[in-house]
Structure 1
């Protein structure tokens, strides 16, 4: 994930919404890592072993091959209510410096123009106080709907309650762990990929790319429940391959990434000069901050370590991937499509219809399949939504 807000560890009920399979993987991760919050956490249980996990590797290769396809057809909604008119939506952003949040806002702006709605973006600037102030302003404006853009609704519980009391529907983007409607907090729906799918394919990419033998460093922000859940699921999936060893679990809060990541990279290179082959981060941002440290250490941009971002897929990540500069892959969110989906979900709410239930499938972008693009923009959704809306 990609938030700059500090939060409490995830509650059991929130993790539970990720599904029983995710719970099982989390149990494995807890056994594997045994980690507490800190700057660098190294598991005490080794995960190396003979054989390189041929069955797990074969399954990973098949999953990655499917996820790397770019010719998939639109699998989202094709029916729904025609667009209502004269609506105003406020997008409350965790911070517009977050490329994921900004990308969704741009998609929302594009779709709002199509249906003729007014859109206002209020930037929370990445701090709890700023986000609370932004949400208060949004509720005061009494819009038709409010988007919770990339932050935990629990941090603005009073404002969320005020919106509910005023009858203003809320749609989240990465607001809670699971996609779909939520009663606590009260969201008409939450637009996101499934965290267990993103975590799983990120780990499978490492297993497939390494041939089932890798030394891995995981980068996360354990202060954010969504991010901690994702990184725990990644470590659990990596643990299913006996030939993969988790070298370190780096807890670096996103607001501190620019200052701390270069120092941690230098330390990791000193500790694991030959065994560190792959890295995975809950957000591409970490590799933007890591690149100068790799460069200073004389490491080639094409690896090792081979780095994959488990989320966002912002333009800078694609640029690093396409130019071979210290990132090999990303699991991008279809940010523009998700902005269009938010408009469609609001339109369903305004029309007293249920949420669409759509969840975008995971995708893996590499230099081989991105064709020089700087975003993952799957085909077909614009035409589908226009037909639904009558636009």
Structure 2
């Protein structure tokens, strides 16, 4: 056990003591101080993490996405197949697609897979049977619907994924014209770095994941790997809770973890913000303050409810939001490139950390200028 878990000091006293004794910058979320001594455990890792967090918390980053491409191809119909519309990230991206489709002048239909393998397969079968111009793989593993993917490919229907595979850009196996996402390595690293920086390199951490989704499992493994770069950061628990089961299972798991670890647990990272919505009642029942500890960061997706929890200090301190609206517009732009016989854009938005300090009451985050950029490209 490390020093922060050997004492019965309150969290506030601990933070104050750390600031006085260590005097090391804790990231912009907690302010800065004059350095009068080194952190325990991982000074080089801590310095790198603090620099990365400062960069990710900036809000004045200019648009670095595409500024050129084919003009709008007319008369297209897109079907968005959602893993489940109860997943805020999936739903947020769907809203962005809806908005962009209206601007470019296309028809759009959303089919909800309901979060079950059978439901997603049925939704994909329905989508292929409609013979649309393109299909969005909205937040599920394309390999779980390999038969329908093959049918779409045979019918010449391009597929664009949102969080469908691990990496942004085109995919050969499974066959996707493009996959729209931030780089999972960057999201995982910065969420773990936030814990390292904010805790001054001394934390007891719980990680929440959904191992049934390859993308999510990969993200949580990368989070675990980055946390391990600091020797005084302890991974207390690695909890696998499928997203469709989160509302029922998370409260029970959190209650058990609080009982088991008590004050040792002072940070959490989840692959999706929604775990903290479901964890809040259990934290409240256990007498935990909404402002922490544990200090919780979501490594995606940055939906409005996550921002509300952060801004109101209700059991979430930060999120690494996907720019959901921008990504919806990018999905439409990728289809437009496919229809025009052009290659995918290859764009992946840079990672960002939203806190109460830098979100200023906002409930979403998107890079500035994306709407104007895409409208200029499409001639709309």
Query: Is 1:254 matched with 2:243?
Result: yes
- Residues 90-124 of structure 1 deviation map (CA, whole Å, 9 limit, x = unaligned): 11111111111111111011111111111111111
CA distance in 2, matches of 1:159, 1:91: 14
Normalization by structure 1: what TM-score?
0.86
Number of equivalences: 342
Whether contact under 8 Å (1:52, 1:211) holds in the other structure is: no
Please list every run of at least 4 consecutive aligned residues from structure 1 whose deviation after the TM superposition is greater than 2 angstroms: none
Whether contact under 8 Å (2:209, 2:270) holds in the other structure is: yes
Match of 1:88 in 2: 77
Deviation at 1:133, TM superposition (A): 1.1
Whether contact under 8 Å (1:52, 1:241) holds in the other structure is: yes
Query: Is 1:357 matched with 2:343?
Result: no
Match of 1:125 in 2: 114
Whether contact under 8 Å (2:140, 2:213) holds in the other structure is: no
Match of 2:234 in 1: 245
* 1:298 aligned residue (287, 293, 303): 287
Match of 1:276 in 2: 265
Structure 2 gaps of 5+ residues are 1-38
Deviation at 1:165, TM superposition (A): 0.6
CA distance in 2, matches of 1:224, 1:162: 23
CA distance in 1, matches of 2:116, 2:249: 19
Deviation at 1:51, TM superposition (A): 2.2
Q: What is the SS of the residue equivalent to 2:178?
A: strand
CA distance in 1, matches of 2:306, 2:162: 20
Matches within 5 A, 1:134-145: 134-145=123-134
Match of 1:19 in 2: none
CA distance in 2, matches of 1:60, 1:390: 42
Matches within 5 A, 1:175-190: 175-190=164-179
Matches within 5 A, 1:133-172: 133-172=122-161
* 1:110 aligned residue (99, 104, 123): 99
CA distance in 2, matches of 1:96, 1:255: 10
Query: Is 1:194 matched with 2:183?
Result: yes
- Residues 222-249 of structure 1 deviation map (CA, whole Å, 9 limit, x = unaligned): 2221111111110110000111111111
Query: Is 1:58 matched with 2:50?
Result: no
Q: RMSD of the TM alignment (CA)?
A: 0.9
* 2:337 aligned residue (319, 328, 348): 348
* 2:219 aligned residue (220, 227, 230): 230
Deviation at 1:345, TM superposition (A): 0.3
Q: Which has the larger radius of gyration?
A: 2
CA distance in 1, matches of 2:81, 2:250: 28
Match of 2:206 in 1: 217
Whether contact under 8 Å (1:330, 1:365) holds in the other structure is: yes
Query: Is 1:315 matched with 2:307?
Result: no
Larger relative CO (CA 8 A, sep 6+): 1 or 2? 1
Normalization by structure 2: what TM-score?
0.89
Deviation at 1:277, TM superposition (A): 1.0
Q: What is the SS of the residue equivalent to 1:95?
A: coil
- Residues 330-388 of structure 1 deviation map (CA, whole Å, 9 limit, x = unaligned): 00000000000001000000000000000011110000001101111221101111111
CA distance in 1, matches of 2:376, 2:210: 40
Deviation at 1:150, TM superposition (A): 0.6
CA distance in 2, matches of 1:374, 1:264: 28
Deviation at 1:325, TM superposition (A): 0.5
Q: What is the SS of the residue equivalent to 1:223?
A: coil
* 2:90 aligned residue (77, 94, 101): 101
* 2:64 aligned residue (49, 63, 75): 75
